[in-house]
Amino acid sequence: MTEKLILDGARVAGEIKERLKERVEALAAKGTIPCLATILVGDDPASETYVRMKGNACKQLGMDSRRIHLDAGTSTEELIQLIRQLNDDPLVHGILLQHPVPHQIDERAAFESIGIDKDVDGVTTLGFAQNAFGYAAYPSCTPAAIIAILDYYQIPMEGKHAVVVGRSPILGKPVSLMLLNRNATVTICHSKTTNLPELLREGDIVVAAVGRPKFIQGDWIREGAVVLDAGYNEGNVGDVDYDACLTRASAITPVPAGVGPVTIAMLLKHTIDAAEKAAGR
């Protein structure tokens, strides 16, 4: 059996962070400390964990992390007012609103209130549009992580057929556009797609972003396909049946230690990019 390539996201993230640390030190020497402001509304345990992980990652690089925790009863207007204050704060370089927010909040309106220069997770419609045209400064972090992994392992995208399962505005759609901009042919699938297994078997590259544990089965994957699992579900499992897909794939990301660590690394990179821009570099 041909040896399988395990796409080690922890390794990729580690190398990215090493380069980022040098940039943080250079900024600090000139009086600028890159700062990421994270906003958590409510008490969702998973969201609290994600925010804490992002804060710890900032600390490890010598960055500032401003954690803002709002009551679950916060209104859309109150949240937007806070975001606008952060937009105007010169010490803040990136703003991250942790998803999901409580039901009474208009999440899209909140996202749209983030200034484009601080939209380090690519959640605004302007950021999405820039990504579609291939010149976004800060594309959505998980799609950026997927492309970074493919680049790191020198896996070609040009001329390949990529099948993306999922169409969210911060994952499935932007990663499809990024693959298209790299000259892949892209098929986007979703919950209403018929004959999904047949479509997946045509994919040279498969991106799983559906949010359902072990949803994609091994016999849905063509022999030799590259599988990138962007899912993370309860029990530390992704959106693909890893063991079953491993038997057919030529390369695959594990869960955990696959796409996730690189997503955080890209968030840090975008915040540092924003800090350098603000500092006039």
- In 3-state terms, what secondary structure has residue 90? coil
**Cα 18–chain centre separation:** 19
3-state DSSP assignment of residue 62: coil
Contacts of 248 (CB under 8 A, 6+ apart): 218, 219, 221, 222, 223, 224, 225
121 tagged catalytic: yes
98 in catalytic set: yes
| DSSP calls for 209-243 | -S--TT-B-GGGSPTT-EEEE---BTTTB-SB-HH
Distance CA 9, CA 13 (A): 6
CA pair distance 218, 225, nearest whole angstrom: 11
Q: What order of strands is seen across the sheet that includes strand 226-229?
A: 5-6, 251-252, 226-229, 205-208, 161-165, 185-189
Instruction: Find the length of the chain.
Output: 281
- The dihedral over CA atoms of 23, 29, 32, 37, expressed in degrees to the nearest 10, equals 60
Yes or no: say if 209 and 230 are a contact pair by the CB < 8 Å rule: yes
Q: Which of 8, 17, 54, 239 is catalytic?
A: 54
CA-only gyration radius of the chain, Å: 19
Which entry of 8, 98, 119, 229 is annotated as an active-site residue? 98
Active site residue: 121, 204, 239, 273, which one? 121
What amino acid positions are annotated as catalytic residues?
54, 98, 121
